[in-house]
Amino acid sequence: MNATEKKQELAAATFRSGYNCAQSVLSSFSSDFNIERDTLLRLASPFGSGIAKTQETCGAVTGGIMAIGLKYGKGINGTEEEKARTYELSRRLITEFSKEHGCTTCRTLMNGLDMNTPEGMAKIKELDLFRVRCLNYVKSAVKITEEILENN
């Protein structure tokens, strides 16, 4: 099993343990940044279900974007070039994820179902979309993010 596959499996196990998609993706990169998994789990906590359950940008994508920011982002005494590069690489993740899955919008990725209504959540559970779909999105985001982090 290569490093990417190990990260995908860690992210999948994290997701199956009850953490959201953003937490699962971001925390799988903890060893790359020498940051405790707990810190990354806390940081990504509000980004699940399309950011605070708004079902906007998929949490798997935002988790990957945060990892890109950790490696390439503009920090104290940073440059505009660093910021521009981070935006470019983040757009690459968004583009690649969209090519693979059709979009990055959580609600659309979840068959248009509203997880904030009892009816929508019941249908999501009936169709087992968290396992059938979200687990795949998590693994995909890890793979794309890893490729970006390794090749830039």
pTM of the model: 0.96
CA–CA distance from 69 to each of 12, 33, 98 (Å)? 22, 11, 20
pLDDT digits (tens, 9 = 90+) for 3-37: 999 999 999 999 999 999 999 999 999 999 999 99
Both tokens of 131, joined, read 């396992």
Distance between CA 28 and CA 25 in Å, rounded?
5
Give 68's contacts (C-beta < 8 A, 6+ positions apart).
Answer: 86, 89, 90, 93, 145, 148, 149
The string of pLDDT tens digits covering residues 58-90 is 999 999 999 999 999 999 999 999 999 999 999
